[in-house]
Amino acid sequence: MKSKQPVSVVTGAAGFLGSHLTDLLLSRGHKVIGMDNFVTGSVDNINHLGGNKNFRFVEQDVTEFIFLEGPVNYVWHFASPASPIDYLKIPIQTMKVGSLGTHKALGLAKFKKARFLVASTSEIYGDPLVHPQTEDYWGNVSTIGPRGCYDEAKRFAEALTMAYHREHNVATRIVRIFNTYGPRMRLNDGRVVPAFVSQALTNKPITVFGTGTQTRAFCYVSDLIEGIYRLMMSEHNLPVNIGNPREMTMLEFADAIIKATKSRSKIVFKPLPQDDPKQRKPDITKARTILKWEPQVTLAEGMKKTIAYFRTKV
């Protein structure tokens, strides 16, 4: 019998997205069991939950068997390194959490008859030949390139999720997350927002790769988590893009950060990393129609909160 208070398990709960998801679930009346092994997560992201009677933390590597007593209604699988620096440094762990970790999290959902959501990524589109990217685009991914360990781990995670849905009737959801930013990002995680903001706050040169014409679209974390929550609560079991369709070049983004931080930084150009996608922009038609979701937070608002957070870290 399901308990009246919904119980959610969040893997990767001490990570950037996992911790924000945990906060949202607690605010909506869920009891949350958070799991993390702190490979890339940080205890700082969940410190504020100490003493919260609705939050329990389990330090665990989710590639190993997950045993929990009592009912579980929702499993949110967010455990994974998610930045280029991580997956270049720990490629095998990245692949294991996407494959074995997804398998264990799905096993938990199957056993508990819980609904399951996997945090997939826009990286499954690789360096896309279609623009903007819709959910039915199969991607352009190098299996053997430096990003292959992350891209293929997430592609496998999606395939395994659909296999559990078809073979075991697990109620599954797949979210494809596009570039997201906000407080609790790691300063040195190699992603563009922490890199540009920390360089700007210390008046160091801002490093733009290539000519700076490659594009990204940035979604503020609270918008993203709201979209993911709506997807879990929907009846849609095929992938849904969640991200902000407002596209910017890296050069425009660097300029915006210099202005927002009132920095004296100058822009310097470095060679483009291997397999770096030239364009990234979500088509969010599905999210708009099925979830009635679209981003609400402007880049100016979101960057204000993010810069304030990074000021405490640099």
2 pLDDT above the threshold of 60? no
Check which CATH number belongs to the domain holding 48 and give it.
3.40.50.720
CA atoms 198, 244, 12, 250: torsion sign: negative
Amino acid letter for position 224: L
Q: What is the mean pLDDT of the chain?
A: 94
Q: Is 164 annotated in the active site?
A: no
**Domain assignment of residue 44, yes or no:** yes
Residue 81 lies in a domain: yes
Say if 187 falls within a structural domain.
Answer: no
How far, in Å, are 13, 152, 291, 300 from residue 95 at the CA level?
19, 8, 30, 35
Residue 199 maps to a domain? no
- 26-53 tens-digit pLDDT: 999 999 999 999 999 999 999 999 999 9
Q: pLDDT class for 187, splitting at 50, 70, 90?
A: confident
The span from the CA of 206 to the CA of 197, in Å, is: 9
Query: What range does the domain containing 73 cover?
Result: 7-181+220-245+281-296
Of the residues 87, 125, 150, 181, only one is catalytic, namely: 150
CA distance 267 to 224: 29
First to last CA, the chain: 49
Q: Is residue 118 part of a domain?
A: yes
Residues with Cβ within 8 Å of 51's Cβ and at least 6 positions away in sequence, in order, are none
pLDDT of 3 strictly over 60: no
Answer yes or no: is 262 within a domain.
no
Domain assignment present for residue 131? The answer is yes
Q: Would you say residue 1 has pLDDT above 50?
A: no
CA-to-CA distance for 271 and 220, rounded, in angstroms? Answer: 28
Identify whether 310 is part of a domain.
no
Look at residue 82 and tell me whether its pLDDT is greater than 90.
Answer: no
Mean pLDDT (whole number) for 72-93: 93
Residue 78 per-residue DSSP state: -
3-state secondary structure of 128: coil
Q: pLDDT (tens digit, 9 = 90+) per residue, 231-250?
A: 999 999 999 999 999 999 99
Count of domains in the chain? Answer: 1
pLDDT score of 225 more than 80: yes
Is the CB of residue 120 less than 8 Å from the CB of residue 159? no
Of 179, 174, 292, the residue nearest 238 (C-alpha) = 174
